[in-house]
Structure 1
Amino acid sequence: MTVVIRESKETQIRLAITAGTGVATVSTGDVFLDHMLVAFARYAGVDLDVQATGDMRHHLIEDVAITLGQAVAAFAPAGCARYGERTVPMDDALVQVVLDIGGRPYYEGKLPSNLYEHFLRSFADNAKATLHVRVIRGFDKHHIIEAAIKGLGFALREALVETGAVFSTKGSVRLEIRDS
């Protein structure tokens, strides 16, 4: 289990992630965010416990994404597949998500909601992941965002598969930082 606690003047968040079956206990005070986190856990195949409060919706959504990204970065095993990809249909929406949890943060994508585009960017930055989200078609914002979050879950499930091998031409990178 990986637990990340984030507390600031704007938000208070406790997030726990563990290998599991996709069970989520989520309470953020934002019904849509709760729905997206439950969907993420379900499709990623991880158990998620999120307790969060915030002074405003933007801060809450951003900080939950930061915390989730940090948790995923710490949770991912060294010998995992690293890459995942999924295209998800949801009624009118069709969204492709491609993920690399190899330590290089980058986000490319455009969603019809600045808040959830920012959610995905904050997640990618803090998970140290490359994340591409392509909306192929769709007009309902809810469906597009939900397809993107489900796609992220599916892609993460694939990326987290333990292979025992390090998928990098660099091999493992050891970093030591000392305070002098």
Structure 2
Amino acid sequence: MENNKILKYLEGQLTGQIKQDFEALIESNSELQYEVETLANLIDEEPMENPPYHLRQKIYNMVGIKDDSFMDIVVKKAGQMIDVIIGNEYTLDISPKFVTRGSQKSILFSKKMNHFDILCDVFYEEADNYVLNLAASKKSKEINNLKFLITQNDNVIEKFTQKDGNTGSFILNEGIYSINISLKSKEIGNIKINLS
């Protein structure tokens, strides 16, 4: 069953014979009926703000929708270098633009999220610290005032892009961080980054 058809049905986008045929299919298939009811409840009880990315990921996985506004990165220090464990598909094979240190200690990740190009430059420093620089552009133009909300447990760091399109460097300790990216209350995407 095409999951997008369920969403179109719940949003009232199906009409005429297509709608009648789909309703008959729902009536005859208890598994499909359960999916439709579950998604209808989620839509009816939808909060006014965007749900956390991990909840959205569960919903998308349930209905088989790929979320293109999500980047998952795991980096691990290996001596004086860092290795990418998860997220190789996002790495750029160029010298890092923002950090002028050795490329073996620095990795640049990139992903298009909702028409924005999001860059994440990760550099490993001594004493289990990492330096990050986040940047955004759209159609090759730097984006000013894009918000990056970085959370780890109850700790929250807020960074905004400047006129040059990047946040400037900041230090994070080892750990797992969620980074929500938004512009004027509109969510652009999310990054989950594990620094170990």
After TM superposition, the score normalised by the length of structure 2 is 0.28
Rg bigger for which structure? 2
Larger strand fraction of residues: 2
After TM superposition, the score normalised by the length of structure 1 is 0.30
- Higher relative contact order, structure no. (Cα contacts within 8 Å, ≥ 6 residues apart): 1
Larger helix fraction of residues: 1
